């Protein structure tokens, strides 16, 4: 559980840090970012995990979303892991939507991906243990959110692990990867042609099976160019309706898929999680 501090800066009275450790899940070094509000020096605080999307790392969210101001106001530690394993010897692809930066937060079963692409184990099992051993976190009050591919990860990992993640939201998530080009490409490569394993990593299929005991918040840009081909929010809406899951889907007029969109609504999400985690 030893971590290396890569950087730490004072930010809104707290500390924004970037750290690295050797991961037993992926067999690689993994980097992650943590923002600790000032009050974390006095007591353990609730945690919000943010999963980034395709091509991203922890850096996109940490530097572009403006989350630190609101995390400081609401007394929430914000954690941003990487999107995939990286390093020499890690399988990759020239396409942006497969390989490094495109881990899809699942455990790959197919070669050459299975050796390192164990992002589900990393986020669900290893990262919480690393946090508990090195930061003043209250893991009994942990929520998760994410963007695009990271929104897919937030939904699937929370639905499968409700004892770990108590609150759930997403920005423009891929809600039915088994039925869109991004997801089908990733699933075919990482999981093979066994369609049964696809459903275990598809948010719409999972909510139909397990439901969700709390409520869910999703923000989606109405001018998102990926809306009709990759994101398919209506599929998740119908699945939640069939299971009587309390979903709030906010279609935000004029907004696209970018971090300008995330920065516009990250305050709402942090406040939403904080209210529920502190209840």
Known catalytic residues? 148, 224, 257
Reading the block at residue 140, the tokens are 């009994």
Cα separation, 208 vs 30, in Å, equals 33
Q: Which one-letter DSSP state was computed for residue 28?
A: S
Tell me the sheet residues that pair with 171: 147, 219
Reading the block at residue 85, the tokens are 């394993």
- Give the number of other CB atoms < 10 A from CB of residue 89: 11
DSSP string computed for 171-190: ES----GGGSHHHHHHHHHH
Reading the block at residue 237, the tokens are 């809406």
Q: Which H or E run contains 154?
A: helix 149-160
Tracing tokens 């991203």 back to the chain, one arrives at 56
- Give the number of other CB atoms < 10 A from CB of residue 73: 15
């Amino acid at each position: 559980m030893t971590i290396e501090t890569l950087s730490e800066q004072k930010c809104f009275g707290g500390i924004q840090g970037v750290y690295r450790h050797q991961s037993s899940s992926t067999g690689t070094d993994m980097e992650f970012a943590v923002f600790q509000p000032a009050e974390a020096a006095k007591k353990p605080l609730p945690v919000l995990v943010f999963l980034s999307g395709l091509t991203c790392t922890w850096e996109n969210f940490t530097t572009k979303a403006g989350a630190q101001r609101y995390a400081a106001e609401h007394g929430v530690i914000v954690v941003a892991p990487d999107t995939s394993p990286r390093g020499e010897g890690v399988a990759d692809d020239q396409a942006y939507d497969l390989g490094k930066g495109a881990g899809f937060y699942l455990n790959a079963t197919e070669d050459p991906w299975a050796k390192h692409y164990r992002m589900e184990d990393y986020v669900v099992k290893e990262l919480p243990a690393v946090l508990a051993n090195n930061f003043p976190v209250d893991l009994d009050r942990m929520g998760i959110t994410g963007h695009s591919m990271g929104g897919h990860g937030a939904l699937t990992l929370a639905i499968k692990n409700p004892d770990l993640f108590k609150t759930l939201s997403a920005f423009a998530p891929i809600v039915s990867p088994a039925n869109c080009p991004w997801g089908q490409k990733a699933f075919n490569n990482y999981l093979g042609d066994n369609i049964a394993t696809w459903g275990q990593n598809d948010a719409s299929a999972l909510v139909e099976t397990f439901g969700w005991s709390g409520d869910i918040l999703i923000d989606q840009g109405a001018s998102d160019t990926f809306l009709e081909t990759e994101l398919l929010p209506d599929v998740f809406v119908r699945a939640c309706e069939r299971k009587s899951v309390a979903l709030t889907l906010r279609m935000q007029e004029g907004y696209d898929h970018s971090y300008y969109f995330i920065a516009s609504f990250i305050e709402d999400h942090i406040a939403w999680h904080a209210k529920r985690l502190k209840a």
